Chain A
Amino acid sequence: MERDKNFVLGIYDDEDVLLNAVTQIRQNGVKIHEVYSPYPVHGLEHNLGYRRSRLPIAAFLFGLLGTTLALTMQFYMMKFDWPMIIGGKDHAAFPDFIPVTFELTVLLAAFGMVGVFMVSSNLKPWGQPRIFDIRSTDDKHVMAIDLVNNSHLERERIVEVLKASGATEVNNKSFE
């Protein structure tokens, strides 16, 4: 997918203004690329119309992988590779395997979830996160609107909509 290069940024001071602005701008037919805020804003993802995160599905699948790996490993080791009698139990003593299975399930679910999150939010080690406005890590909410996806609108029209929605500044941002 070709990455969009030219953006219009709306800078907001207040989260309530931002929340209303998001709704209002979307109603005007402008597609919002992303909103960056210094802290979680309650209800923002709802107003942006985001679909529910699929992260729990990834967590479940990684957990399942952990369970499978743990049980396979233990059954293989204890039953086939090097059978040992421990505490007079059968080689494949299923209850004994539960603690390790539990731990590996939790470990893989947690790591998998973090990994998937990192990759999907472009925080992977080889990724280059785009910084739209450094103040979004301090005290400003930054709304990015890309011009490619909104090619049906004039740039002036987007600026107008942003200003009308309560943006304190409207800037341009281009990436190489």
Chain B
Amino acid sequence: MAHQTNYNLDQRFDFTAATKKAIFIVGGIGAVLLILGIIFAAMGGDHGHGDDAGHAFHWTQRLFANLWINNVYFVGIAIIGVFFFAIQYAAQAGWSAGLLRIMLSLGYWLPIGAVLMIVSFFVVNHDIFHWTHAYLFDINDPHYDKIIDGKGAYFYWPMEKGSFPIFYVVRMVAFLGLWLFFFNKLRTLSYGEDLKSTGHNWFAIRKWSAIFLVVFAVTSSISAWDWVMSIDTHWFSTLFGWYVFSSWFVAGLSAMTLIAIFLRERGYLTMVNENHIHDMGKFVFAFSIFWTYLWFSQFLLIYYANIPEEAVYFVERLESDIYSPWLFANLIFNFVLPFFVLMTRDSKRHSIFLKVVCTLIIVGHWIDHFMMVQPGTLGHNGGVGFMEIGMFLVFGAAMTFVVLTGLAKHNLVAKNNPMLEESYHHHI
């Protein structure tokens, strides 16, 4: 079969004013909803009395919970771009050569996300993380908590428990710093390759990718325990790290697929044909099932063993009128829909199905993160309202803007990549 191989390799993405305007409109709608949500919450929010810890609920707590949900979610999507890029090199994959820059571009959110994350940790502090209260560690205090005291060193070492959570903050800064370092390293190598008249950086990128993957294997799990699981301080799940990772991964894959489709529809990336899109679709399909597998494994063991200290996590979610519909929505958006819609070959090759499913998955995994954070922080004061939708749209629009700006800075194709030829002939 004859293949067209005279592609324009120097093409750049033109981030047009129309696209920017569309993103700003979405962000603007989000901002309006967010402000509306804040006004409603501030006007009527102080009625929630009798929180578990004994102090009244304040509407800012809900704002902070939203801030934290979106921080974790979007930083996760950003690092997944870098992770997926590294996977291509470690696996010596050829099919994806035309998509490498899309993967890398997600990482542009990392610097902003990292700063937001660290700053917002100090803002949300007591409102999200129960373990930050000093009285939990004071044996003479009526609120003394033996279990949290036992876990205290994980947050506070080497300082005194209940003081400044130095170990926790160092981990957060170190992980985000490491991710940023590897993103910059891979980005510099990949974009530096374009400037070479001969040769490539493939081996150097593979080396750094392999190192990054080892680092990410450890840091992704620990960051999930730190940023998400520590909210429910008493509770623990041994597969939580992979569960959060899989949630990030599916959302990240959906974001990359959507960007690829978006670019193709605007006439960019002509070497990316339905075969490459098909493979992205397979990844989204497969890892949706992987996420379900982890979600269900976590649920089934807890449900089956029925040990109170573990089961409380699902009791909070299933017995609540606020959260139980979202628990099922979570499964419908992230398992049932992708499973049945993306099952056939045609649906993975025609972008309309992928556009719908990927968008729903990005919303669906936001719901997943919502379900991880809100029940443990807000309890019966939580829910999906204007504030939730608004904050999600603001973050989503901001990340899209940053990612597309990053994408527009350099060539869309790694033109000296030795795998390009293989990618042209990819046929499945």
A residues within 8 Å of B by Cβ? 42-43, 46, 52, 56, 60, 87-88, 95-96, 98-99
Task: Tell me whether A99 and B306 are in contact (CB under 8 A).
Answer: no
Q: How far, in angstroms, from A98 to B298 measured CA to CA in the complex?
A: 13
Find chain B residues with CB under 8 A from A98 CB. 296, 300
B353 beta carbon closer than 8 Å to chain A: no
A-B residue pairs in contact (CB < 8 Å), sample of 5: A56-B344, A56-B345, A87-B304, A88-B306, A95-B303
Q: How far, in angstroms, from A96 to B304 measured CA to CA in the complex?
A: 7
Q: How far, in angstroms, from A52 to B345 measured CA to CA in the complex?
A: 11
B1 beta carbon closer than 8 Å to chain A: yes
Task: Tell me whether A95 and B299 are in contact (CB under 8 A).
Answer: yes
Q: How far, in angstroms, from A56 to B343 measured CA to CA in the complex?
A: 10
B196 beta carbon closer than 8 Å to chain A: no
Task: Tell me whether B296 and A87 are in contact (CB under 8 A).
Answer: no
B residues within 8 Å of A by Cβ? 1, 296, 299-300, 303-306, 343-345, 427
Task: Tell me whether B296 and A60 are in contact (CB under 8 A).
Answer: no
Q: How far, in angstroms, from A95 to B304 measured CA to CA in the complex?
A: 9
B300 (CB) vs chain A CBs: closest residue: A95
**How far does the Cβ of A140 sit from chain B's closest Cβ, in whole Å?**
23
**How far does the Cβ of A74 sit from chain B's closest Cβ, in whole Å?**
14
A86 (CB) vs chain B CBs: closest residue: B304
**How far does the Cβ of B339 sit from chain A's closest Cβ, in whole Å?**
12
Q: How far, in angstroms, from A46 to B427 measured CA to CA in the complex?
A: 12
**How far does the Cβ of A12 sit from chain B's closest Cβ, in whole Å?**
18
Contact of A60 among B1, B299, B300, B343 (CB under 8 A): B343
Task: Tell me whether A87 and B427 are in contact (CB under 8 A).
Answer: no
Q: How far, in angstroms, from A43 to B296 measured CA to CA in the complex?
A: 40
A19 (CB) vs chain B CBs: closest residue: B1
Q: How far, in angstroms, from A169 to B300 measured CA to CA in the complex?
A: 64
Q: How far, in angstroms, from A109 to B343 measured CA to CA in the complex?
A: 14
Q: How far, in angstroms, from A96 to B300 measured CA to CA in the complex?
A: 7
Find chain A residues with CB under 8 A from B304 CB. 87, 95-96
**How far does the Cβ of A123 sit from chain B's closest Cβ, in whole Å?**
24
Q: How far, in angstroms, from A95 to B345 measured CA to CA in the complex?
A: 30
Q: How far, in angstroms, from A114 to B111 measured CA to CA in the complex?
A: 51
Q: How far, in angstroms, from A18 to B300 measured CA to CA in the complex?
A: 54
Q: How far, in angstroms, from A29 to B231 measured CA to CA in the complex?
A: 72
Task: Tell me whether A42 and B306 are in contact (CB under 8 A).
Answer: no
Find chain B residues with CB under 8 A from A46 CB. 1
**How far does the Cβ of A112 sit from chain B's closest Cβ, in whole Å?**
16
- Known contacts A87-B305, A96-B304; 18 additional CB pairs below 8 A are A42-B427, A43-B1, A43-B427, A46-B1, A52-B345, A56-B344, A56-B345, A60-B343, A87-B306, A88-B306, A95-B299, A95-B300, A95-B303, A95-B304, A96-B300, A98-B296, A98-B300, A99-B300
